Structure formats: C-alpha cells, structure tokens
Chain A
C-alpha cells in the first residue's frame, strides 16, 4: 500500500465500483483528506459530506442523515463526530461498514494504526520501547487508541499532563502516569505530544497558556533527557510554541509529516481489508 503512493501513477483498480461516504461532522484537514486520497488511490468513489453544507444545519438528526445517505447504497461510511460513541451508535442501524475517523473523546483507531506504522518504520520493534504521550489525555481520542494499540504491541507507555487533564484512574489502562513532564521524558524512545485545545483553559483545566507552556511544552531541554535516537510525534494540528516549540516541531527528530504520509497507506489498508480482497489467495 505504501509503495503505491510513491509511483508516478498513484492508483490501483482494487476498489473500483465501491462507494464510500466521508461523513465528517467536525472540521478536519488530515484525516479527511487522508481517507479521501486512500479511497481514490484504490479507485473507490468517495463522496465528501460536511456538516456546514448539509441538512444537519436544518436540524436533521444523525440517524436520519445516515439513513438517507445509506439509501444511496454505499459500501462504507467513514464517520468523524464530536459525540463519543457516534460510530457505534450508527452501526446499530447501518448495513454498510462503519469506520471510525475519530469520535469525541473516545477513539481514533486509524490514527493509532498510522502512529504504530510510523514507530515501526523507525524503531523496527515495539518490545521495551518507552513511549511518552503528553498533554490533554482526558479529552484525547488519539491518546486512548494509542494506549490500547501500544500496549498490545508490547511498548511501555507513560502519560504526562496537568492533573485535571490526566486523572490518576488512567493507570488502570496499564500505563505509567508521571505529572512531571521533564521526568517523563527521561530515556524515552518516542515522545508524542497532543494538541492542547485553547478552550480548555476557560474550564480551568489549567491556569493559562503561559503556565501550560512553562510546564508541559516539549522544549530542547526536556527532549535532551530522552534517548539519543528518540523521535517526536504529533497527530496535528500543532499549536506551535504551545505544546511544542517550533524548533522541536521542525527538528530532524520530528516524524510529524511522515505520520501524515503513512496515514494514507494505513487507511488504504483498512479500506482494502473491509471492502476488497474477495479474490485474495488463501494465505499459506
């Protein structure tokens, strides 16, 4: 899959004749374009739905919206929604495959897959790797999906962030929790920063962006405590100079754009596994 995107003609006929609906109820640059390109490179027909240009603004419910789109006979619906559990909910009445492209503060499974793919590209193995995930863990679907994925693959995960955004119960997910971010960075192999949503400050999850930057921003000094070959990841969009200094975001240690590149390959694989592969040879 990865190789296809490096060809001069970036297209294979695998999913020709399949229809996919990209149902995005939230703004998105990366995930939406990534799914769209993944579908196109597999020759599927993809329709983009955006909330602002739809009947949702006229008050149509999620259920009615999905039922109407389903009447157009798609094979798959890719959904991004602000409500946790929305993909699960629509799957209770949908015939098509439902792909979760991020639901509320719950999960973002393809992000975790592309992150794992990227880590493996660089580190070759997960066994014993120390992965630090830092920032707004409480509201992060990226953090949750990564915790489950990395645990399964054998990495050791450490979470860091301000206590109101990182309740101690997260330890029950099988991870370490270290509130001192500099300490958390010690001997890390991977440091994954999460975007801090500016509106969280209004709810007093932390006092100010200045304070957040002072305590939780990934700076050169903090990064220097990590292992020599450590890499920096971020699911985007980044707030330069807030959770990550511009210098670190653009450094050679950053694999942020490689994550984006790999996202297409991973999503092509996911679409292929769900929609294609009927003629696949039985595996040896």
Chain B
C-alpha cells in the first residue's frame, strides 16, 4: 500500500530542501515530493508541525548478536533503533564469534531480514578474531555484505596491519573505522587520566593514548591514499590532528557520540558504572572543544556507540564493570535538546550529520536522501515534544544509560523504513 505524508516540514540537506511538502511513498520507494499531492488510494498521515528527515543512520552500534544475546539481539537492537529514530544501523564485529568471516556476516544479514524492523549493515573485522595479526578475507566479506572494517572495542593493534588493511581495502571501495587507543598507555585504566582520576583514585587512561593512534592512522591513510574513519572522537588534540589532515585533503572522516559531547569526567564522583565507557568521558575542556568541532565541520557524523550491557554486569565495583553506554534510544533527543534547540547547530546540519553524511561515508547510495527512487526511509521529529529519559521504557534489552531522568525537548515520533511504519510514538 502506498503512504502519503501530508504537510511535513521536509528537511533534506542533500538537496538543500527545507519546506513544507507532501511525500508519496510506494513499494518502499519515494514516488513524489510536492507541495500538494492527492492520492486517493494511499494511507494518509498528517505530519503537519512535524519535521520529516531522511532516515537516520547510526554507523556505530553494538548489536551483540551472535553470542551475547543476554545484552541485545538483532531483533531488540532494531526495535531500540526504531524507537530512537534510526532507520539503519551499522553493527560492529566484536560479537561471539567475531564477524571475521562470511558465515557470521551472512548470519547477521539473514537474522536481520527475518527479525529486524530496520536496515542492518554489518561491519566486519579488520583482523581475524580482532587479534591484530592476520587480515580477514576482506574481498569475500565485502561481497557478503560488509560495509566497512573495524576491530572496534580494540584498536587495530599494530601499525603494520593498519598499513596493510588501508592499502588492501582501497580498490575494494571500502574503508577502515578505527577505535583509537594505544593500549600500552591505557592498560588497566577505567576513566580519563587527570585531576578527577587522581581525586577518585581510579586508574587513568591518558588522552595521549587516543592522540597517538589518531596521528598514526592519519599518517598511514595519507601514505596509502586510503579512507580512514575515526570512531568516537573524544579529545581536543585528536580534533586538531583531524582538522589539519582534512586541510591537506587526507581522506578522513570522524564521528562523535552524544555522551562525549554532553558529559565529562567530573560526573564520575558517584562511581556510577553507567558512566564507564571507552574512550572515557574526558574533561569539560575536551567536550566543549568537540562541540566546536561539530560546528566547524571537523566532525562529520554523530554516532551512538550503542553498547548494551546487562544490569548484573554493571552492578559491580567500578573497576570490574564493562565499558559501554546504551545509546540508540537517547541520542536524537539529547542532540536536539542540547545542540539544535540551543542553536549550536542548525536543524539542517543536525540532519546532515545523522543521515546524509553517514550514508555517504558508508556508501549507501539509496539512503540519506529524500529523492524520487530512493529508499523510503524517514525519521519524523517533533521539535516541541518534552520527554524524560526512562530506561525502563527502552526497547533495548539493556538499561545502561547515564541519562536516566534527563528532561529533553525534541523527540523522534515516527520511524519509517522502506515505506513501512516501524515506530510511532
């Protein structure tokens, strides 16, 4: 059945659109966008006073499936994504077993087809079993459906394997996403190293650990003339390195998470394990600087690094808790409230960072735009809706959010994937 969205404020950064339009969808594709469309047979949805954007894409999600289904499954992760306004997510390969071969990639895609309500794009491992020793069969994995490569959760361990991965992926038209952390500097650290780690007596992870690997990756990517994407940027100096590399036309893109923008290391005074994340929450100076990097375009996309963990795993001493924040169901409201409503970035820039840019980076040619013939993925926003973050209402299997109780204005109210309404508030 066809779908007609009436009177929405349509924002599409790909074409510079920001006007009130009707959108007609049929067979999962956009058919027409015009000021007034009549279609007698279509189901009509009134979206007046709402914002209609190309479907949001989270290029950094941990779905935990296969192997860690107590934390999340492809099904529950997709429901969480839909509730959070995402129509697509790219899922990281640090599952059990690791997504380092065609079998696991195919499992994820077939599970997604059967059980997911949104689009799932697998990211495969750079190295076998994330060990940083041998490259995965990257050509085979691309053919099976991998959209990018990453050893996320861990950095690509050695400069040598990063160099070869960059060189090797170039003709495959794909790219590497790196979690930048020099492990010999972070060791058993559990929070950002600095005044607050000394005050709280917790082992620190120095910002230099991130800066060094960002620098390494930029140098290697430039030499290889290959594409690199820096995951969850968290420190000031790493932003400077990327800004400088972009100026010299290095093929680098970067993402930032809501938690690194909105929280800092002073918040750990209660030893709340929901604030334990890697990279760790940095200083107020770093988070302020990241917001500047969002404004000036050094950062290309917002990503959640959705990392679900069970209540039991997080109900332990701070040292023992796993790293990770549950992000899919809070990201959009957090960013609308703190960045768009506060006029730090425009609504159009926000949509660009949530949809247009991740689609371009991931090479999803039929996504990230509201164009005739493109996939009818849409995120509908109500900029005036007040919500209170309540983890008990999450569709995710896990509840590990540090934003519990936050009052936010602006929320996703409808998620449409290939013409099908998969979430409606």
A138 contact set on B, CB distance < 8 A: 198
Chain A binder among B166-174, B312-320, B389-397, B405-413:
B312-320
Instruction: From the candidates B194, B315, B317, name the one contacting A85 in the complex (CB within 8 A).
Output: B317
Taken residue by residue from 214 to 252, chain A's Cβ proximity to chain B (1 for < 8 Å, 0 otherwise) reads as 000000000000000000000000000000000000000
Residue contact B194 to A61, C-beta cutoff 8 Å: no
Residue contact B198 to A88, C-beta cutoff 8 Å: no
Q: Judge whether A106 is part of the interface by a CB distance below 8 angstroms.
A: yes
Name B270's closest neighbour in chain A (CB-CB). A88
B312 contact set on A, CB distance < 8 A: 61
Instruction: From the candidates B187, B194, B200, name the one contacting A169 in the complex (CB within 8 A).
Output: B194
Q: Could you tell me the distance in whole angstroms from the C-beta of B315 to the nearest C-beta in chain A?
A: 6
Residue contact A144 to B201, C-beta cutoff 8 Å: yes
Residue contact A106 to B198, C-beta cutoff 8 Å: no
Given A85-B202, A106-B200, A141-B201: A61 and B195 within 8 A (CB)? Answer: no
Q: Could you tell me the distance in whole angstroms from the C-beta of B349 to the nearest C-beta in chain A?
A: 36
Q: Which of B195-219 contact A (CB under 8 A)?
A: 195, 198-203
B195 contact set on A, CB distance < 8 A: 169, 172
Residue contact A62 to B200, C-beta cutoff 8 Å: no
Instruction: From the candidates B187, B200, B270, B316, name the one contacting A84 in the complex (CB within 8 A).
Output: B200
Q: How far is the CA of A172 from the CA of B305 in the complex (A)?
A: 33
Q: Judge whether B107 is part of the interface by a CB distance below 8 angstroms.
A: no
Instruction: From the candidates A106, A169, A172, name the one contacting B201 in the complex (CB within 8 A).
Output: A106
Residue contact B202 to A86, C-beta cutoff 8 Å: no
Given A84-B201, A88-B271, A169-B198: A104 and B319 within 8 A (CB)? Answer: yes
How many residue pairs, one in A and one in B, have C-beta atoms under 8 Å apart? 55
Given A61-B315, A89-B271: A84 and B198 within 8 A (CB)? Answer: no
B270 contact set on A, CB distance < 8 A: 88
B202 contact set on A, CB distance < 8 A: 84-85, 104-106
A169 contact set on B, CB distance < 8 A: 194-195, 198
Residue contact B320 to A83, C-beta cutoff 8 Å: yes
B194 contact set on A, CB distance < 8 A: 169
Residue contact B317 to A86, C-beta cutoff 8 Å: yes
Instruction: From the candidates B201, B271, B316, B320, name the one contacting A105 in the complex (CB within 8 A).
Output: B201
Name A93's closest neighbour in chain B (CB-CB). B315
Q: How far is the CA of A104 from the CA of B320 in the complex (A)?
A: 13
Q: How far is the CA of A62 from the CA of B271 in the complex (A)?
A: 15
A81 contact set on B, CB distance < 8 A: 317
A173 contact set on B, CB distance < 8 A: 198-199
Given A107-B201, A169-B198: A63 and B316 within 8 A (CB)? Answer: yes
